[in-house]
Structure 1
């Protein structure tokens, strides 16, 4: 430790002097430190009533403290001024305690094996620990440090070297595995990207194909109608010019030609434009099929054949009406079936009991026969309606199957 700093340190607390007081023997200590020493030496016999005996911690001589205590001891103003100036200066080269502001590390704690300040010994967590001064601790630790290497045997050195080689080998293996996994990731996503690109091009090709089909389907019709429109415009212009003709002969010849051309134009059959739709829609396919398909199964998704199909649009009212009719038909058929079965059962019972059946048959009035005839006719009517309904349902099913077959 710096020699000048030692002169500013109390020999009791090993800290910079706080309120330095001078004993009659000319040694200086902190006032609080002297108070502590007086309390420890209170068992001394008081040989003068107005004086308190005290053994100086430095020279061990007995000095007398006035009865008023350490407050009456003179203050070492010169030392106090030097300490204040010392604290104001920057002493970055001097190690100070991190827990006590600007207190120098001037004591070595033997228990914790570390440098501490005086406050750490008196009011800090090192209070009561065995200590040593820096010079003595330096000599002892320097002598013992030479024996530290003796604890490291050749076996320990060999174990350390083997562990280093083992760790290097494991590190190399792990890095190799990571590199292999990187290659697998790159290959997998390249294959996935190629598959997606192939599917993308296939869908775009299908859309281009249907687009070409649309052009082939509509362009001739549009061109045909354009020619009809141009011919009609030409006839309108010709008719206007004929009206200005004053020669009867020329007028009649031209009018006859116009009539023939108009007749031929009217006889030309115009194309029947029916509403159509594109099926299947790629957006629906991506949503309903692609979004629910596992990544590994994407390459198994077939590219649909996109077609133009007639658009069938049924209103909700007509659908509800048809469903209502179907329900009524089924209810009527069920009721008639029950009645017919009941009649068959009655006839069968009567056929097994001839005496009873003959009497009953003779007693049946004519209106019962008419009722049975009416039931039969009504049953036939409802049966025909049911057949029509089944035929209509069959047509809808065929149309539905025609839509899903391309998938």
Structure 2
């Protein structure tokens, strides 16, 4: 410790002087420290004299304290001023206590083997511990580092090096495992993304196909109706000019023209627009089948053939009572039973007549297989939708069989 700091330290508490008081022997101590020593001395006295005797902690001479106590002792103003000036300055080279503000670490605790301040010994957790001054502790502990390092033998050094190698090997091994898992994740989601993209494009292509069919079906009808409307508008304009004609001859000629054109227009047959439905609906399919299918099974979902279906060919809804009975029936039907029913329909078609096999081409068989596959997948998610599809399939097969029979005959 710096020599100047030692001069500012009380020899009782080993801390910077607080309220320094001078004894008659000219030694200076903290007032609180003198109070503690004086209190300890008076505890062993049976009677209290007028003037209190006190043995100086430094020179061991007996001095007398006035009856008013340490308050009457003179203050060491010179030392107090030096301490105040010292405390106002920063001292980065002086180690201070972390528990007591600005108190220097000037005592060595032998019990805990660490530097402490005076407050740690008097009011802190090192109170009553054996202590030593810094110089003495320095001389005693000078050889300690070498003795401590001697405990680290060659065997210990070898074990540490081997352990480092083992840890680095394990670290590299586990990092490789993580890298492999990351590659697996990238490959898995790439494959999944490719599957989803393929399915998306297939569904969009199916929708584009039915959209083209809608345009092909309705565009001629719309154009024909527009021509009829234009003809009717032209007749209305002609009627206005006929009404304004004043010549009887020209009037009758124009009336005859109007009569012939109206007759021709009335003879044009207007198309009978039948209500149709787009079946199946992709939105419902995504909700009922796709959203309830496991990720690994998505690639097995077949793309449905989307068609315009006449509403009359769909199974009727029925009354409330019939719908209730149908609901109870659907709840009692097992998925395997419905699948067997579907398979029976196929068997009936194939076994109806041998010539059928020569008539039914490969495209038709694939279409029926796709429908049955879609029916079975959709069955586990929405039985009501499956039953409607079965009805539609049955109607389609009956119509198809009718055509085959008529073709055979």
TM-score bracket for this pair, using the shorter chain length: 0.7 to 0.9
| CA drift at 1:86 | 1.8
| CA drift at 1:156 | 0.4
| CA drift at 1:404 | 9.0
Q: How many residues align?
A: 332
Q: Deviations over 1:59-103 (max 9, x none)?
A: 222323334332332221211222122222222332211221211
| Structure index of larger Rg | 1
Distance in 2, Cα, partners of 1:258 & 1:48: 150
The residue aligned with 2:96 is 96
Distance in 1, Cα, partners of 2:26 & 2:257: 152
Is the 2:315–2:388 Cα contact (8 Å) retained in structure 1?
A: no
Q: What does 1:212-361 correspond to in 2, within 5 Å?
A: 212-238=212-238, 244=245, 246=247, 248=249, 256=256, 258-311=258-311, 319=319
Three-state SS of the structure 1 residue aligned to 2:309 is strand
| CA drift at 1:150 | 0.6
| CA drift at 1:147 | 1.2
The residue aligned with 2:6 is 6
Three-state SS of the structure 1 residue aligned to 2:147 is coil
The residue aligned with 1:355 is none
Distance in 2, Cα, partners of 1:234 & 1:48: 141
Three-state SS of the structure 1 residue aligned to 2:101 is coil
- In the alignment, which of 388, 391, 395 is matched to residue 401 of structure 1? 391
Three-state SS of the structure 2 residue aligned to 1:200 is helix
Is structure 2 residue 30 aligned with structure 1 residue 40? Answer: no
The residue aligned with 1:364 is none
Three-state SS of the structure 2 residue aligned to 1:97 is coil
| CA drift at 1:3 | 1.0
The residue aligned with 2:360 is none
| CA drift at 1:308 | 1.5
The residue aligned with 1:187 is 187
Distance in 1, Cα, partners of 2:199 & 2:91: 77
Q: Mean Cα displacement is larger for which, 397-406 or 176-185?
A: 397-406
Distance in 1, Cα, partners of 2:48 & 2:297: 109
| CA drift at 1:19 | 1.8
The residue aligned with 2:84 is 84
Q: Mean Cα displacement is larger for which, 239-248 or 166-175?
A: 239-248
The residue aligned with 1:167 is 167
Gaps of 5+ in 1: 325-396
Distance in 1, Cα, partners of 2:323 & 2:35: 111
Is the 1:97–1:117 Cα contact (8 Å) retained in structure 2?
A: yes
Distance in 2, Cα, partners of 1:62 & 1:178: 81
| CA drift at 1:274 | 2.2
Is the 1:18–1:30 Cα contact (8 Å) retained in structure 2?
A: yes
Q: Deviations over 1:7-64 (max 9, x none)?
A: 1100010011122121222111112212222333447789995443322211222323
Distance in 1, Cα, partners of 2:394 & 2:166: 64
TM-score normalised by the chain length of structure 2: 0.72
| CA drift at 1:272 | 0.6
Distance in 1, Cα, partners of 2:8 & 2:255: 138
TM-score normalised by the chain length of structure 1: 0.73
Distance in 2, Cα, partners of 1:323 & 1:110: 95
Distance 1:35 1:254, change over 3 A: closer
Gaps of 5+ in 2: 325-386, 397-409
Distance in 2, Cα, partners of 1:95 & 1:323: 92
| CA drift at 1:239 | 5.2
Is the 1:46–1:53 Cα contact (8 Å) retained in structure 2?
A: no
Is the 1:21–1:31 Cα contact (8 Å) retained in structure 2?
A: yes
The residue aligned with 2:54 is 54
Three-state SS of the structure 2 residue aligned to 1:54 is strand
Three-state SS of the structure 2 residue aligned to 1:93 is coil
| CA drift at 1:399 | 8.1
RMSD: 3.2
Q: Deviations over 1:304-353 (max 9, x none)?
A: 2222223469999x9459999xxxxxxxxxxxxxxxxxxxxxxxxxxxxx
The residue aligned with 2:130 is 130
The residue aligned with 1:344 is none
Is structure 2 residue 113 aligned with structure 1 residue 113? Answer: yes
